[in-house]
A and B are shown apart, each in its own frame.
Chain A
């Protein structure tokens, strides 16, 4: 396995606190099929730091150098791409930022206007979704993103395929990525249909405890002053975590969830009144990923209990007259059902 580069983003394992968020991100790294992670909370709580740190921690991917969608083998290169450099190289797991206010053209890709106008060629200019293939797509302020764009993103994230049918183009390419969205619920909320499409959701807040806050500042300051030294110090922890994630990924196929666990999943979702079956499926997948992360192959009730808030919190029916937050409701039902 290749070693770390000596400079890089803030190490994932050096992030203080925010255990829910870190766990949710690790689970999606183990099983990208869980779907995206939605992080709601205050500014400056390390959301983007965590995404970047996690991607840097993951083993690099092997990809064809000139391929716009990071294909692993020459055979996977989409037919529309004119790839000149066909060497297979290692590159870090991509993390692509989707800026607020990005146009649909930039996201899904569009007709390459420049080639069309200057050379009269009909060529496809890949968008951000192509670049995010096999990596992470990070959207800050996802709740301020235009609804149709969020719709489109979630659709692609779930199907793993980006299909462009417009301006006389008919193009498809692989777009498998983990979607990480973040935002502040006070500035606007997401439609329930969209919320449901995210696999896991976590709420983060600035740490209230002074000592934790001091530790955050101390580590960040140490990183800013001497990034190389800081990365070297934390490399051990990051490598351990990487090894655990890689091992968990490998063990995912063997993870077993017995009949009683499936029943528990269903009962939890029925008790919470979540729409559709996506809740059960995500809950199961997340619990399985957590089990392998813990190094066991059997999913237990404890695993369910630990992932239930993240997997179900955002799937509840909105009750405008209920004062209790969704997290409280999930926890209450989890205690009732699982004991």
Chain B
């Protein structure tokens, strides 16, 4: 069986498990672009979920639609209150396309509904193209099954075999499924070894194991069920690759048995026949880890994606508060606030006519077209991107000053709404050490290990800064770039040591930054400021500031003063 067919088999099982016990599993996070493969999955879901209510949500849904609210148009027309019923009322399976666009607010509401209301479950159809575009973690944590069908071929994906009659049969069996002793312990330990912090995951894995046992007509969870649970629930959440038994990863893992075949030292010997050894479950999980995750983990970048993942969902458009602007006509609902005075003013001229046309002369006549909404203008947050020369020619001390300046700026960031990012360049390329953040905790952790040494690939550093700045702007921030270097660019964009080409590339990148019109500053940290850098500063449209003996405090003051938009 090919890899794709194998995976499809698991999709089939996953859907069947979910159909058996939607409430306990919480839901499915299906990551796949729109296409025939996803259509097949959806079709399978519809067959298997017969008898349950399916309701569709969209990521921009407002509270009125979720929890129920006033049907304003009908209320106004009838002169009495007409309420709509919320989507979250009653038990249902919610289907949400474009789930990668869910805002944190909606994610929090859905998550709490999934937690507190029984009978609700969610199928999140995530169509994200980039790794950053993903379901908010608060929500993903509540959905037991994570499926990634991004590279599933249609030829490996025949129609799903889900028979409602079989499912009904299994549903009857489900309440009687028992767990062997030690199954809970095994799943929990596997989860811990895979670096899964949340304790929801092992619980969801248990629910999957039970459903899988019921599906195969057993009233007891067998080792195949546990393996399936690990593959479907735990493997996709892994944040670390479990170390092999020779080198236990952390002291937290109770000393694993020396060989996987024989494990006499385990406390749960009586269940040897039923339970697969933990190592086997771990192997199953390892086989399921996507190859690119391995690469990511090795590059040590998984952690960046994990805690503060910046998907579309987490992006905040800097819409905190602001100056009131003139009201505009619009529809009520969602976060919109009605400007009552403006609404009444809009309705006033028509009252005489409307009264004459209506049979209720004594009341105020307001139509939907009169509704005016409040608007606020907000200023966006700043994102200061530090581009720091970490090459051999720049002394390690400068790097330390840059670190200090970043921490000082962040210390004041609460008041100023600053986000700070750090790009370091050295050797043959650049590295984003700190994506835009306001978190001091995260920053300290990242800055603790900033390496130094090697050539000066100035252009690569500027390019990374440019990319970061574009990303920050897309999130509603105003980026500014602060370059700290001693200016002897000697490695070009391709990573080759070539002084001439390196200089040309750096100039090109500087002009690209200037073209965007962002505030920037070039700080020369060389002991004897050379002529080259002020030319580069001019290319960037940035002030040039030689600061041979800058300490963290003067540096942060200089950056702050020159980057404040006029």
Contact = CB atoms under 8 A, between A and B. Distances in A.
B307 interface: yes
A144 interface: yes
Nearest to A185: B441
Given A103-B337, A141-B138, A214-B184, A44 B198 contact: yes
A318 B411 contact: yes
A191 B252 contact: no
Interface string B103-129: 111111101100110000000000000
Contacts of B104: 100-101, 141, 144
Given A101-B106, A141-B138, A147-B320, A189 B439 contact: yes
Nearest to B310: A187
Nearest to A206: B197
B415 to A, nearest CB: 8
Given A99-B108, A210-B189, A210-B254, A221 B184 contact: yes
Contacts of A216: 199
Given A103-B335, A186-B439, A220 B112 contact: no
Contacts of B111: 140
A123 to B, nearest CB: 12
B364 A148 contact: no
B407 A188 contact: no
A320 B308 contact: no
A84 interface: no
Instruction: Bin chain B's interface residue count.
Output: 35 or more
B342 to A, nearest CB: 12
Contact of A189 (B332, B335, B364, B414): B414
A213 interface: yes
Interface in B282-308: 307-308
Given A100-B108, A214-B185, A320 B410 contact: yes
Contacts of B563: none
B172 interface: no
A53 to B, nearest CB: 13
A203 B404 CA distance: 26
A245 to B, nearest CB: 24
Interface string B62-80: 0100000010100110011
Interface stretch (B47-55, B200-208, B426-434): B200-208
A239 to B, nearest CB: 24
Contacts of A106: 63
B438 A208 contact: no
Contact of B81 (A118, A214, A321): A118
Contacts, number: 152
A100 B113 CA distance: 13
The majority secondary structure among interface residues of chain B is helix
B483 interface: no
Instruction: Bin chain A's interface residue count.
Output: 35 or more
Interface string B301-332: 00000011000001010001100000000001
B486 interface: no
A43 B439 contact: no
A140 B112 contact: yes
Interface string A147-187: 11000000000000000000100000000000000001111
B202 to A, nearest CB: 5
Contacts of A323: 444, 448
Contact of A148 (B24, B321, B338): B321
Contact of B109 (A100, A186, A208): A100
B340 interface: yes
Contacts of A186: 307-308, 439, 441-442
A114 interface: yes
A75 interface: no
A217 B320 contact: no
A192 interface: yes
Query: In the complex, which of the residues A214, A217, A323 has the most CB atoms of chain B within 10 Å of its own CB atom?
Result: A217
25 contacts: A44-B197, A44-B200, A100-B107, A101-B104, A102-B105, A103-B337, A117-B72, A117-B366, A118-B75, A144-B104, A146-B320, A167-B340, A185-B441, A186-B442, A188-B439, A206-B197, A214-B188, A217-B199, A217-B202, A217-B203, A217-B206, A220-B199, A221-B184, A221-B203, A221-B206
Q: Which 7 A-B pairs have the closest CB atoms?
A: A101-B105, A44-B198, A320-B407, A100-B108, A320-B411, A191-B414, A206-B197
Interface of A: 42-46, 48, 97, 99-103, 105-106, 111, 113-114, 116-120, 140-141, 144, 146-148, 167, 184-189, 191-192, 206, 208-210, 213-214, 216-218, 220-221, 224, 318, 320-321, 323
Given A214-B184, A320-B440, 6 more contacts: A102-B105, A113-B338, A119-B363, A148-B320, A187-B307, A318-B411
